Structure 1
């Protein structure tokens, strides 16, 4: 008998929606989680993406997956067809999926030494700990690190506002940790990366509907400004029987949260199919402008769709971004990074999306 490790209680930095949303039943459903660590030196990023679809099992797209975007945008993917080996807490951020293991007990959070001993393929993560081991063909990755959250999201609020509590607004999206620090190690194909207090980030999405088209800009590793975190994103998603195009920008800096969302600001964007992201927003008191570009081709990633997990988005962690924040027109912050996460997804992307 393997004893499951007790999960830590909700902390002051816990956000809404950090627990697992599935309530049972056979309706089409997915939930996805995103953990990321950025290493200022050697200027590399590891992004871990987990998903579960139709967890009741026995449906065409039932199953889980783990994807990693590694150094220089290299890619690793491992699927987990057995939904019964997936577990997640409905009360706090905690999840995992067991793949290759001899354990016969119900899956759950394990002490790190027990996980290392018994789980040959799989992962587990909470708001303060992340561990796993995956192999995809000739590529393999193993990792373990601790996380110290610095910023949740605003005053620990819903990223998508009060509508995100209702199933009429799908998919839901929540930044779980806009900024944190990670200490530990990652082994990528035999190359060991050890780090202390590296910038860390986390978010999630969930629901029964799937985004039609979207974009995303994210960075918390700016040049010479360690206490700065940016997340911007937008897309077309379902609200009852119609589609709406929405976008937001959120900035954490020196203990302050600058929020630009549809209910308090005007947000404008010009997003190319790939290579250029331009977003401007004004909430009456503050104005933000961000320009992001990349010469990297990006890496196709899988995302949940009505037809299961499909290659339908493109990412790079090698984006260049310049952020300017003004108060009543006066420049109060300008920052730059060449380690920005950039994404476009869904479609169609036949031309620049101007809104």
Structure 2
């Protein structure tokens, strides 16, 4: 099993979703403004296909308990002009390989090294079809991608666990830190994507439902507060309350941190690493906050990030059951904060660096 390939089985494809998420920073071709974007290739309940797209949020489908079935391109941006745009396709227009990342939705294409496509939603379509849960606008992209750092969460996303449909939601991070290059056009404004300032990220999720709460934070743009220099580093954490064979575990997260060539992992499923984590996500009128302390036998990191709610989206997904359980799933691309890094020496943790991060991706939702 290639974990970044198509992951649904014949069974789970009747009650499941699979998606490939990309987020990155682009530079306005004229003004030089740095702007974050996201692009997602998505499919839900493909084995239920009977010749027509089914939208679970359409009133008649809610009444008749018809579950969603379609392929989708989900793209957007954050900030003052934030949007999430959805175009939908027949399952017959969807193809994805289990052996490698090779996905096609209509004429939109995705591999490990390249992604291209376009999404256009008119104001009329937005207003006539609320079940599509989309804003109005347009985005076109043609990008190459080089993945520098990988985070494999381990046995929990293995072929066996996938065949057993053990987890409600699976996670794999093929591109915890990526460099993208190319061009993206948002509402007829051209942006250039440069490898050194793309701060890119690519992961995938699949399963039968979405975790609750839903927690995610990534950042690839760091400067050392100690040396005042740019640092080759990457932070990624995600989780909430995983379900295994229908049984809810306690609230927990998985965290990975890459620093100057060294990879640190804090993963409860890899017991030999002796990981311990404390985390809290909360909000006030202005910000969402992610506060995490992660420790294993060799390292400790202290993470304190926030994101301005005015720049964030309430991102829309419906479950394979047809329900829209997450009605306040906050998603952002302007997370900022600090990471303090410690290394254990002679039984004690010694501070080795303190970083400031910005332009990070983030998510939090609970129902």
TM-score normalised to structure 1 length: 0.80
RCO higher in structure (CA 8 A, sep ≥6)? 2
Give, in whole Å, the separation in 2 of the partners of 1:249 and 1:61.
32
Which one of the candidate residues 83, 89, 99 is aligned to 2:97?
89
Contact 1:87/1:95 (CA < 8 Å) preserved in 2?
A: yes
- Deviation at residue 204 of structure 1 after TM alignment: 0.3
RMSD of aligned Cα (Å) = 2.1
Give, in whole Å, the separation in 1 of the partners of 2:92 and 2:114.
22
Cα shift readout 1:250-303 (whole Å, capped 9, x = no counterpart): 011222110011133011111115611101111022111100112233211122
Which one of the candidate residues 40, 45, 54 is aligned to 1:54?
45
User: Residues 335 and 39 of structure 1: is their aligned pair in 2 closer, same or farther, counting only changes over 3 Å?
Assistant: farther
Give, in whole Å, the separation in 2 of the partners of 1:332 and 1:42.
33
Higher-helix-fraction structure = 2
Which residue in the other structure is 2:155 paired with?
162
Which one of the candidate residues 274, 278, 289 is aligned to 2:291?
278
For residues 1-355 of structure 1, the aligned pairs below 5 Å read 16-25=2-11, 27-39=14-26, 42-56=33-47, 57-58=49-50, 60-72=67-79, 74-98=82-106, 119=107, 123-137=108-122, 138-153=136-151, 158-159=152-153, 161-165=154-158, 166=161, 167-197=165-195, 198-223=198-223, 224-244=229-249, 245-262=251-268, 263=271, 264=273, 265-273=275-283, 275-297=288-310, 298-305=312-319, 306-307=321-322, 311-328=327-344, 329-345=349-365, 347-348=366-367
- Deviation at residue 249 of structure 1 after TM alignment: 1.3
- Specify the SS of the correspondent of 2:199: strand
User: Residues 308 and 54 of structure 1: is their aligned pair in 2 closer, same or farther, counting only changes over 3 Å?
Assistant: farther
User: Residues 326 and 226 of structure 1: is their aligned pair in 2 closer, same or farther, counting only changes over 3 Å?
Assistant: closer
Give, in whole Å, the separation in 2 of the partners of 1:39 and 1:336.
20
- Deviation at residue 225 of structure 1 after TM alignment: 2.7
User: Residues 210 and 342 of structure 1: is their aligned pair in 2 closer, same or farther, counting only changes over 3 Å?
Assistant: closer
Give, in whole Å, the separation in 2 of the partners of 1:130 and 1:241.
35
- Specify the SS of the correspondent of 2:67: coil
- Deviation at residue 168 of structure 1 after TM alignment: 0.9
Give, in whole Å, the separation in 1 of the partners of 2:21 and 2:317.
12
Give, in whole Å, the separation in 1 of the partners of 2:83 and 2:364.
17
- Deviation at residue 29 of structure 1 after TM alignment: 1.0
Give, in whole Å, the separation in 2 of the partners of 1:189 and 1:266.
45
- Deviation at residue 312 of structure 1 after TM alignment: 4.6
- Specify the SS of the correspondent of 1:22: coil
Contact 1:38/1:221 (CA < 8 Å) preserved in 2?
A: no
